[in-house]
Amino acid sequence: MRIVAQRAVRLVLTMFTVTFLCFAAMNVIGEPLVNILGAAALDPVNHADDIAAAKEKYHLDEPFLVRYGLWVGDLAQGDLGRSFVNDESVSKIVGEKLPVTLWLVLITQLLAISVAVPWALFAASKPEGPRSSTSTVSSFAMVSLPEFAVGVVLFHLLVVRWQILPSRYDDLTLGSRFHSLLAPSITLAIPLAATYQRVLHSELVMVLRSPYIAFARATGVPPRNVMWKHAFRPASFGLITTIGVTTGALIGGSLVIEQIFSIPGAGSEIVSAIVRDDMPTVLAFVVVLSIGFVVLNGIVDLAYILLDPRLRRR
């Protein structure tokens, strides 16, 4: 389909734009030689050999576009460079830390969606009744809760006082991993579920007022079938868009939550790399997460095509 090809081309162009902007931003922040050599970079007389070796190793004596081209070529091969601090492979660091954050995001999304969808359906089934207004008030309250404050409270209750959940991350088994990530996932899922519920609830109320819904009810279609078969799919467009957009914000929110619950994920590593002025590590995580966000939004576009047959004929 032509629309799929157009979206694919747009996706590739967006990825190149993202990588260029990220690489340019990291080259503007600070002086690479100082990050690599420390105070020795400021003494070219006594450390000329070290400075020359660093420039050759990291291509710092090349023009910006040449360095970008070399970096993109390595990126395409899965090579994200070497850490300025300990010369460790950044690809290895990302491979160890990023899956932890992705598991956290996945569990959070599953929890949020599993709460938001039935909550929205329940509230929208009687949009003029007290359940709808109560749902609106409670969702506003949940969205207003600061994530870090919720995280501190849940850590105190679930980990310290009741000792229901572990205080340290454990990934020996799938069950222990889920158990370790449950408390931070609940912390992130509370405002997220409220956001999803508000979006889906408002869309459902609008769809349920449509003429074809009135016709379905007049022909004797059961209320449950009206909600699931006729109203839910067209009302889910807004929810799908919100899920795609909030995933990036969710990864950003995990920076603080991982610190509270001692989760060794991408958020903790990014904070640590920033403190150490380890720009290749920061750049790698930013680029990988940005590309992932772009791909996710591409998947959202494809989901639109699957849900709306009219788009397939374009």
Residues 306 and 157 in one domain: yes
40 against 25, higher pLDDT: 25
172: which DSSP letter? S
Q: Do 230 and 301 share a structural domain?
A: yes
Q: What's the whole-number mean pLDDT along residues 139-145? A: 84
pLDDT tens by residue, 74-103: 888 888 888 887 888 999 999 999 999 999
Query: Given a cut of 80, is residue 231 above it in pLDDT?
Result: yes
CA–CA gap between residue 281 and residue 276 (Å, rounded): 10
Beta bridge partners of 89: 82
Whether residues 69 and 186 share a domain: the answer is no
Residue 215, burial from CB neighbour count under 10 angstroms (0-12, 13-18, 19+): exposed
**For the chain, how many structural domains are there in total?**
2
Judge if 126 and 197 occupy the same domain.
yes
Residue pair 226/179 in contact (Cβ under 8 Å)? The answer is no
CA 229, CA 223: separation in Å to the nearest integer?
A: 10
Question: What tens digit of pLDDT does each residue of 242-271 get?
Answer: 888 888 778 777 888 888 888 999 988 888
Look at residue 253 and tell me if it is in a domain: yes
Q: For residues 217 and 288, is the Cβ–Cβ distance under 8 A? A: no
Q: How far is CA 119 from CA 44, 57, 134, 193, 234, in A?
A: 65, 56, 11, 9, 17
Rg (CA), the chain: 24
- pLDDT, one tens digit per residue, over 143-195 is 888 888 888 899 888 888 888 888 788 888 888 888 899 999 999 999 999 99
| Averaged pLDDT of the chain | 84
Same domain for 40 and 166, yes or no, is no
Does the pLDDT value for residue 45 go beyond 80? no
Q: Return d(Cα 68, Cα 312) in angstroms, integer.
A: 38
Please state the φ and ψ torsions of residue 256, each to the nearest 5 degrees: -75, -45
pLDDT of residue 310: 58
Q: 71 with 122, same domain? A: no
Q: Per-residue pLDDT for 201 more than 70?
A: yes
Q: Can you name the residues that pair with 82 across neighbouring β-strands?
A: 89
What does the alpha-carbon distance between residue 90 and residue 111 come to, in Å, rounded to a whole number? 31
Asked if residue 204 has pLDDT above 60, the reply is yes
Residue length, the chain? 314
Most confident segment among 37-51, 100-114, 120-134, 243-257 = 100-114
pLDDT at 273 over 80: yes
> Would you say residue 115 has pLDDT above 90?
yes
User: Is 26 inside any structural domain?
Assistant: yes
Greatest alpha-carbon span in the chain:
89
pLDDT greater than 80 at residue 278: yes
Per-residue pLDDT at 107 exceeds 90:
yes
> What pLDDT digit, counting tens, does each position of 283-305 carry?
899 898 888 888 887 787 777 76
pLDDT at 211: 85
Q: Is 235 in the same domain as 248? A: yes
Note whether residue 72 is domain-resident: yes
Domain annotation covers residue 214: yes
101 and 76, same domain (yes or no): no
Mean pLDDT, residues 116-130 taken together = 84
Four-residue CA torsion sign, 250, 256, 260, 262: positive
Cα–Cα distance measured from residue 270 to residue 153, given in angstroms and rounded to the nearest whole number = 25
Does residue 14 belong to any structural domain of this protein? no
How large a percentage of the chain has pLDDT more than 90?
Answer: 17
Residue at which a domain ends, from 55, 90, 125: 90
Q: What pLDDT does 144 receive? A: 83
Tokens of 101: 């954050």
User: What domain range is 176 assigned to?
Assistant: 93-313
98: nearest Cα among 295, 258, 244: 258
Average pLDDT over residues 103-125: 91
Q: What is the rounded CA–CA span in Å between residue 276 and residue 134?
A: 48
Contacts of 161 (CB under 8 A, 6+ apart): none
Indicate if the pLDDT at residue 312 is higher than 60. Answer: no
DSSP 104: H
Spatial separation of the C-alpha atoms in residues 253 and 189, rounded to whole Å: 11
Q: pLDDT category, 50, cuts 50, 70, 90?
A: confident
Identify the CATH number of the domain in which residue 207 sits: 1.10.3720.10
